[in-house]
Chain A
């Protein structure tokens, strides 16, 4: 558990981060979202003390971060940034091994860990281990950057706009990969982005920052359904709100008995996908399957009613 307690950072007269208090659960993804200048990056960088707080403190599992030397603290916390920050003169393997080497791991252990991580990120260790960053595609560089941050099994992973430099398709894949790997490893992740879409897609909890203040800290569905301020509403985008909400709800919530024509959809698909299928093929209901077995249908009517609940 990470407790952020009244954390404040002042540069001259400006309050970059203004008395932010929040608690992050172990094993969850928390996304900090805001416009540029909202203080989100400063907040993140105060957690591993790349910036020293003006006042307030951060406790990781009850232990205040200022009780430890900064470089030792940082070795326990993974750090991945926009533009990956790989060392251009080191091979992929050596890049991933950076923190384990700092921690003095034995060579065979490091080697095994590098191969394990490359495999986890769907990169063949034999093919990629000895390459240099310049020989990789943007998506591959980004994956190596995240793998490097995870190498020493840190108790917390901080990510600053990790997907910012990727094109939309690669970006969506990278987000899915991150979600999958996080569930697999059970890591605690704090991620900074300016993209609300990304925040809703990835976050178990979303923290919205504006002008150095934490304006709302809640689950994605609540952020969409009940924006705390106009600013949060703007960030969500009022026009897209119903669609964003539907994209968070699985079909399984609205399954009913009855006939439906056409191609079936899995029960864990989102209502947004079912709505799109209805509109696209002119149907009023879609059949739903669970592990290939027909379990019922979801109607256009039901989706509309579900969206109206929040209006």
Chain B
């Protein structure tokens, strides 16, 4: 044991083990830092989304919250709050107004905060306590409609309340997009004395929960089978589809970035292991001649690698932790919120990376070493018995396993592995062809560039391998740059500064012109007006919905509630026709709800509109981007089907902050019209997007650094051969300029070819990623074809010339003696 340890110390001193240790530390460090950082971002997004929900989870019901739901939450030690929402008339002095009342318990909100103000239409300050008993908070719009100010009395049902604050934002308000009457908040303890809730009242009860993830998950799993019609379980990501989409795309990007880090780590470990093995071949043969048995050598290497794994993984974890702390502190100045601390249990990812790297990349190669024949000391050409298919197979399996562990899925790793195999084939074909051509063009030549081109073919296999590594690294870099820039520009495109931030509802056809005039006078742009008629789907293909979904359990949204129906001659903004004919005399259905109930073109839906039953075939399917903030609908009917029903109209507007007060005042002339302000949620999304953009750029930078290190390692792996050749050329009388020129040409050509193949690979991968992973529009990237070869030539030439500088600066005698 001590001897093995001494051998290890000696190996370490020589630097060979250090290279392997460095590769392991880089692998574990990169994956750990990115893994931890992504975890922190995810936790942060969850927190921010939870602020929109006012809780970590929410369950809402049309009936009183059952006691056993509360009991179960108690059992799991979850924090709880309740909100009861209803619409009723509010009276003040001589005026009355329909208002949306929320009665909240003292612990509300569990997440986020109210924004309240003492002045009408003020900007608001954060407030985490609900109204005191006897107090009411009114939205500025409601207060101005009622003509009350702070200190005035208002009546709700049988109870009187003191107006104590103006409500700017209710943290849970965005969850109920159609609760559009002006808002008021009272304390839950005052609810009973209003006496407004009687049997048959339309009331929405919400139980809000907060706590640790496992308990929430357990609660959700326990609750799901009990939910009936009118009851829903909501998570933060569902609270805003827009935020959910943005975060999930960012997560896909970060996951991709992390997966690429895994691939690079694998390459780094494979390169370092190959170098370690190459430098130990003769040593093992010599040890065998002096009596080291295969068993002893296996045991010795196993112990060395185990110790290396422990030390490398520990250092890697520490460095990874440090790097993510640095990234987080760099970001802290840019982010509006502080990142939550990372979860310690995410460190297992780094440990798994270290273990799989050692088992898949290092161990098989090192164990192959043991098979070297001791005869090699007499006949250096003696080969190792080996099964390269198993070694490469294990390497690929290891990388695949790591990616699966990392992404918790198979799709991305499978796509990535197949791409690498594909790129390997392309590299093989193009590389052999191009190197052969170079050889033919330069036969018998003696100039530097001719020697450089000729040596590409002379060292065909090492050069092909190096070409593959260069290509992969450059391609991965191009993909990341391409994805992050298109992701950011896509987000920015979707959220222009003048994105609509208000919906205006319940507008009668005879009010449209007057409202148009008001908005034009204030220079407030608005979208088209859409008529809305309420209706409920009662049959799908002649089968009653009640039969299809007995007891109302897990009903899809299409049949769960009354829907807003509309008619339109043309596809609205954010709508894409997927199949069918939009102008046909039938139903146009949104893709996701169609999938939920399993209907497609040709199926029929029967709808109850105010007691009248109509049956229509589905004639088109649309994809709807709900994030456009334009009015959009699950079902669009032909005009003939709806025109005889009384409709009210909806539109969306962008109201600048400084025009808001005048706009609200103008709209108070139309007390029956409802306005929903979604500006807060938009601002929240814009903040998240801003933070995400910064975060993914930093992650990209980390990956680029790791890529640079791998490139350097790759150049080093064939350095000895190049140094020996260069030294021999100089011994034979070649001028430094000739050697320099040949090195320039060789690395330049490798860089150029890898750049071109990378551009091709990146273009194909970006197409796949944009269409299938990020669900964005695919487009060509001409810049890849310019930057791919440019990066290839510049980076590889620089690294290659830097690494080979010894050949030019050190006397050849020294070089030959050292080799």
**A and B associate in one complex:** no
- By a beta-carbon cutoff of 8 Å, the part of chain A in contact with chain B is none
- By a beta-carbon cutoff of 8 Å, the part of chain B in contact with chain A is none
